[in-house]
Amino acid sequence: MIRKIGFVILLVATLQVSAQRRELSAKELKKMERRERINQLIKQEEEGALIYNKQGIFGIRFNTDGYGIMYEKGKYKTVTKTNLWWLEFGERRHKKEEKLTVGQVVLPGFIIGNPFIYGKVNNFFYLKLGFGQQRLIGGKGNKNGVAVSAVYGGGLSAAILKPYYIEVEDPLSGQSKQIKYDNTNDAEFLDANSILGSAGIFKGVGESKFQPGGHLKAGVRFDYGRFNETVSALEVGLRAEYYSQPIKQMLLQEDKKLFWGAYVNVLFGRRK
């Protein structure tokens, strides 16, 4: 009986030791695999790859027809691929816009007055929410090199149309008043002799209207940041937007649904 009990105890102890050894071996294997992955990432980073977990980028955008600001968030997926989403706000200007000034000439070439844009109906602001990817084309080669990536994607757009008010002189009373275009006052709105200037950038904000749409973009990003933790980049590319209804910006000009052109982004941010 005593021998049987002793045998059972010895068997249990042997099994426990064996299980502990297997558990220890599994932990050691995981540590070795993790160490190997880290070594590979370090090696790839030294060779010029952009290695990180996520990135946050702010940007200033210059379009062929306006300007904007943006914020972009990136999530690292592989050595060459990063998933992106971005938020952008800006203004589009019509190519026929021309700022004029009615005022007093104080010196040759210098006029004091309130500038306005003749025939402008709406300020066209836009808001975009987009999703896409960044794919590494060429690594930095060293810490001081330039990484080249393709950036592409698309998403939703909203056109924000703020009525453009001008200040005019009433020909009957001689008093000034502020008006916007309303489909019935073409003659008054376009009478250059009675226009005194614009009514101010904030006039009409509460009357803004929205038009839904979508957008696409494709570009090339040049990341010249000295270290991978810092984003200092320049992006150039093409973009297009399409809206559900024609956007009215100027009188005597064609209203459009499709807007396309080139852009340049100046980007700065951090990776971690």
Note the pLDDT tens digit of each residue in 147-193. 899 999 999 999 999 999 999 988 777 788 999 999 888 888 998 88
Sign of CA dihedral 251, 255, 261, 267: positive
| CA–CA gap between residue 94 and residue 179 (Å, rounded) | 21
Q: Which fold has domain 52-271?
A: Porin (2.40.160)
Segments making up each domain of the chain, as ranges: 1-46, 52-271
What is the per-residue pLDDT for 217?
Answer: 97
Tokens 């990484």 belong to 147
| pTM, full prediction | 0.77
pLDDT band at 97; cut points 50, 70, 90: very high
| CA–CA gap between residue 227 and residue 96 (Å, rounded) | 44
pLDDT band at 107; cut points 50, 70, 90: very low
Cα–Cα distances (Å) from 196 to 1, 42, 174, in that order, read 115, 65, 12
Say which residues have a Cβ less than 8 Å from residue 135's Cβ, sequence separation at least 6.
80, 81, 82, 149, 150, 151
| CA–CA gap between residue 225 and residue 45 (Å, rounded) | 14
pLDDT band at 87; cut points 50, 70, 90: very high
Sign of CA dihedral 183, 186, 190, 195: negative
